Structure 1
């Protein structure tokens, strides 16, 4: 059978089909555990995809247009977004989406200690942050001591155009996935990555 080449992996439909389907949740779990650098003791082992259309709406408020929304086995809420077109205020948009998800967890009468960590992962096909590194993450820290106040907020920005492919055999798990989505990575290079990574091969 002839192999399908030149797939646009940043296509919205393809992306949601690949990582937003319960039939392929093993791929999504591998992607999340890799990007979030989870070790064996903290691996996410199950995922439940949520209905993106059922987010409680604020009357006359702006409605988030989510790509992938899911709850993990420990209750963590996760939102994965793909963004192709450059947006000047994307960090504000990302924080707005995060805040809506965080508030989404509680119903009337529930206690604040029931709130779970909420994570947003943004895959960007444009340069946005003033850093050379392609993957940057953000939390809430004390300005003086750098101690984390709470780990409930976690935002990731992955700028695919900044990814530099070096020795394929030495790629870390997260780098395998970044390379897979990066427009700079050729089909031949992806095939080489797949030889060393069963999940990417799948």
Structure 2
């Protein structure tokens, strides 16, 4: 009976042990954003919940039986499209909020049985990804038009063709293993090297 009581107390103590969240790492991806949570103990699936509030553009993650330095965690280095990080201690749980520029279509959690870390993969709607690419492409084209005036015609062709191929390859995604992105970036690199190190010296 005594052994059983000791076992139960030990079991309860282990399972009620609070996890300390040490740091957060945010990385932009082509179709969303990856958020990695580092802790001192391995997190379990039943400890974590998440949801996206469309009206406020905040994605929230609640980690049960967890604690951490809220002030330090809020100083996490931001990456596009994350605008702000907010961390709140609520009872025995830690709530981490991320304010995002674009809506979150879906998300998944990836747990490790070896390392004390959790990855939250947030994915955005395809329409928002394409709109962002088109906006970036337009800005890049306008910048290149300004910079390539009076340059050889082939340099302009390499720039514009390279931009088109790169955009097509990125939209296609990694799973299709397209050649467009690699060729496109190569053409842009060749044109850049020529106008920076060769053309400028011959002026």
TM range (shorter): under 0.3
Name the structure where helix makes up a greater proportion of residues: 2
Larger Rg: 2
Name the structure where strand makes up a greater proportion of residues: 2
